[in-house]
Structure 1
Amino acid sequence: MRQMKWGTIATWRMAHDGVVKASDLLAQQAQAGDAVEALIKTVEAYPYYKSVGYGGLPNEEGVVEMDAAFMDGDTLAQGAVGGIQNVKHAISVARALAKYHYNSFRVGEGATKFALLHGFEMTNMLTPRAKAEWQKRLQVLRQQPMTAYDGHDTVGAIALDQTGSMAVGTSTSGLFMKKAGRVGDSPLSGSGYYADSEIGAAAATGLGEDIMKGCMSYEIVRRMAAGATPQAACDQAVYPFVAKLKARYGKVGEFSLIAMNHNGEWGVATNVEFTFSVATADQPAQILIAHPAAEGQTKIEPVSEAWLANYERELKAPL
């Protein structure tokens, strides 16, 4: 009997444990949506990841505001939250909202109230470690102006299950020290994510304000629909847009995109050094690193043991 194709890919080294969990589920014929949710919940629950979920760094007022989204590639149903507070798993709230035809994207107090009324786990998302880092940054601010913190890493995840269904999800606490109420690309359809099971899916991470300018996730899916491989679609969408923003807007922030098509083939493009994790029916979960190439073609290679060791040291280093 021919083995059915399945696959999952997610942004950053922080997603690897979730990718391992999702790949185990997909190998056991789990649904794509269940795999995406399980993957992202694993990241959201780990307190040392400073840009997602519990332990995520707060806005300038010391409040952790989270954005998340979920999309079902079969039905195109979408659910999203922006600026939700005190909810352990924003991705689960976003997925629940995807079941609604109306009112499926909720923000701020309305999103938090929905989670509370529907029994989602509530908790104080500001950990002592994150609070200490916020207080440290406040002291720095009194002495010098601050540019945007570079830790705006969204977990974006894609899954293809053995029935051919696809799903995509995102979750982030956004820019550290962001203005209260700021929302990036992560919960915005077509910018932070997009999925169509007949074609493929894409997800983004990086500076949302710039990713939104190009609707990058939809653009990659559109190119796959026109016949491009996931890697070609990522390269063709990302690098010309980086050049366009530099020429017309005058500058461009960091951003990276992942994609997977309905055959389980995947691709990545980035304008910074970018790690990601991927697993398929033919390849166990692995952590890879992507580098932008001058000729517009992404260079991808395995991460070194030294890189991984340094990552772990920095992740848990004393403040």
Structure 2
Amino acid sequence: MEVGAVAAMRYVKDGIKAARLVMQHTEHTLLVGEKASEFAISMGLPGPANLSSPESMEKWVKWKDSRCQPNFRKNVLPENSCGPYRPTNYLGDPDETCFSAGQMLASNSGLLRVGRHSHDTISMAVIDRMGHIAVGTSTNGATFKIPGRVGDGPIAGSSAYAVDEVGACCATGDGDIMMRFLPCYQVVESMRLGMEPKLAAKDAMARIARKFPNFLGAVVALNRKGEHAGACHGWTFKYSVRSPAMKDVEVFTVLP
């Protein structure tokens, strides 16, 4: 149950190393923003550095030229522009804060959907020879996200979770949706109750799909014996496995 995470960290390339430093050298769980960058650099990681690439700058320029579309904002004016934005009087009462489920789903109908090429999550689970289990997730987040956005990557139980006596889980996909369900915590707890990895993974995906049928995501479940399985929704997902008994990495394909 040792956890370390960083979020919204800029100017430092090695996010997963920074997260490990938080775990090993602080009593905190999560550091964010500029202070996370300062901490990482103070602990010896390279920085501050310009992490923009020619490819990312080209994407950003094209996005600006396209009036900042696609865009993750909703219920704002003006539409189809780069702002500045103001909230719309969506329900006719500017102080109204209670949305019904139907109204929320209607307001989400035009949202940018997270796709296979709009995020870059890498998540890994490892069992050592003593039976200890560790997981880690690293990501730049969703393309064209609103500055300051934190997805499910640094949220324990969402993108990754592990318990030595049970197993582990890794996840990727639409983090803004998936983090509301803590799917990896669900997977591990389902395995604790006796579910095999395949059923635990499918159950976690089904819980999200019942509320958000158009979401895109995947999980990989691994029990303490090394048995593994994946489940996904909205795409065909692949994950890789390597063990001492294998001559090379094996890639597994999971159908939605």
Deviation (angstroms), 1:140? 2.0
Residue type at the aligned position of 1:147: L
Task: Find the counterpart in structure 2 of residue 58 from structure 1.
Answer: none
The 3-state SS of whatever aligns with 2:219 is strand
TM-score (norm 2): 0.78
Using the TM superposition, give the Cα deviation of residue 259 of structure 1 relative to its aligned residue in structure 2, in angstroms.
Answer: 1.6
What is the match of residue 147 of structure 2?
180
How far off is 1:257 after superposition? 0.5
The aligned residue for residue 53 of structure 2 is 127
Kindly indicate whether the alpha-carbon contact (under 8 Å) linking 2:114 and 2:173 is maintained by their aligned counterparts in 1: no
Contact 2:9/2:34, CA 8 A, preserved across alignment: yes
Which structure's residues are more often helix, by fraction? 1
Aligned pair partner of 1:92 in 17, 33, 37: 17
- Of 289, 294, 298, 2:253 maps to 289
Give CA deviations for 1:167-188 in whole Å, capped at 9, x if unaligned.
0000001011111100011100
Deviation at 1:254, TM superposition (A): 0.6
User: Which shows bigger deviation, 85-94 or 229-238?
Assistant: 229-238
Following superposition, the deviation at residue 281 of structure 1 comes to: 2.9
> Which of 152, 163, 182 is equivalent to 2:130?
163
SS in 2 for 1:77: coil
Q: Which amino acid aligns with 1:92?
A: K
State the identity as a percent: 32
The answer to whether residue 101 in structure 2 is matched with residue 137 in structure 1 is no
The corresponding residue for 2:101 is none
Alignment of 1:1-319 (within 5 A): 76-100=1-25, 102-122=27-47, 123-141=49-67, 145=80, 147-148=112-113, 150=115, 151-243=118-210, 245-246=211-212, 251-271=213-233, 272-283=235-246, 284-292=248-256
Unaligned runs of 5+ residues in structure 2 are 71-79, 81-110
Which structure 1 residue ranges, 5 or more long, are not aligned? 1-75, 293-319
Task: Quote how far apart the aligned CAs of 1:154 are.
Answer: 1.2
CA distance in 1, matches of 2:160, 2:25: 18
Q: How many residues align?
A: 212
**Counterpart contact for 2:236–2:255, Cα < 8 Å:** yes
Alpha-carbon contact 2:114-2:216 (below 8 Å) kept: no
Quick one: structure 1 residues 138 and 78, their matched pair in 2 at CA, closer, same or farther if it must change by over 3 Å? Answer: same
Question: Deviations for 1:37-96, whole angstroms, at most 9, x for unmatched residues?
Answer: xxxxxxxxxxxxxxxxxxxxxxxxxxxxxxxxxxxxxxx100000000111210001011
Could you say what the CA RMSD is over the residues aligned between the two structures, in angstroms? 1.8
Shift in Å, 1:143 = 7.4
Deviation at 1:104, TM superposition (A): 2.9
Q: Which amino acid aligns with 1:198?
A: E
**Aligned counterparts of 2:165 and 2:183: Cα–Cα separation in 1:** 19
SS at match of 1:92: helix
Shift of 1:263: 0.7
- How big is each residue's C-alpha offset from its partner over 1:84-125, in whole Å with a ceiling of 9 and x where there is no partner? 011121000101111245333100011011011111022211
**Aligned-partner SS, 1:280:** coil
- Using the alignment, how far apart are the partners of 2:243 and 2:68 within structure 1? 49
- Aligned pair in 2 of structure 1 residues 114, 161: CA closer, same or farther (>3 Å)? same
8 Å CA contact retained: 2:5, 2:22: yes
Work out which of the two has the higher radius of gyration on C-alpha atoms and give 1 or 2.
Answer: 2
